[in-house]
Structure 1
């Protein structure tokens, strides 16, 4: 019964947060396919990371704009992740630093291209490294 209560509480929190954002027109764009790229290692074997990226848009109407610029955004993320050292890729704080770098770069690129702030945030919904 404890598990049911925890699940219900989690559901309620998610539902409540969606209700509070219901008046806002946020949208999400999932970059497909996942981003797979190498990162810098100190070993002879190359390391790679697989990331699923979701972009939180300030306005759901901008999905087509983001979709149009998706190849440029994907390239920017690959360039950032590919230059990171193994220690940063594998640590939780490093992962968050990488996510923030990617978010800042994506926001900057889209601002330059569209003259508008399109992206609210960038999320890593899956992050696997080897």
Structure 2
């Protein structure tokens, strides 16, 4: 009789577990969406002032965190390109050929584009600017 009682309780527990509602876990909240906008074609400029011609080629990508920011960046692409061509062509050998100089150039380019957007639309628009490929010839 005790054995039959244990089997009955066990069957009841299994039945309850089988029909109990399953609660799905809530998905984690979506973080800010980041968009990478490649600037094509690559930038190819002369740098270094008078004397022998020196070349710099840079593939640049803009980082934005909203679709509105991405649209604004694409709309103002000619202004961005002009600003970056001017900045890249005014660089020195030290800025182009050393890792520290290249990082400073990237930060300067980011700041220049943010200032451009501050003037044009009233806020910085981009979050960052990345050099994906950076080649120079002295």
Q: TM-score, normalised by structure 2?
A: 0.73
Q: What are the within-5 Å matches in structure 2 for residues 69-84 of structure 1?
A: 69-84=76-91
Q: Match of 1:90?
A: 97
Deviation at 1:52, TM superposition (A): 0.4
| Cα deviation digits, residues 6-49 of structure 1 (max 9, x gap) | xxxxxxxxxxxxxx9x521221111000001011067x420010
Deviation at 1:125, TM superposition (A): 0.3
How many pairs does the alignment contain?
110
Structure 2: gaps spanning 5 or more residues: 1-27
Answer with 1 or 2: which has the greater Rg.
Answer: 2
Q: Match of 1:36?
A: 44
- Determine which of 94, 109, 112 is the counterpart of 2:116: 109
Structure 1: gaps spanning 5 or more residues: 1-19
Q: What are the within-5 Å matches in structure 2 for residues 10-29 of structure 1?
A: 22-29=30-37
Deviation at 1:62, TM superposition (A): 2.2
- Determine which of 115, 118, 123 is the counterpart of 2:125: 118
Q: TM-score, normalised by structure 1?
A: 0.77
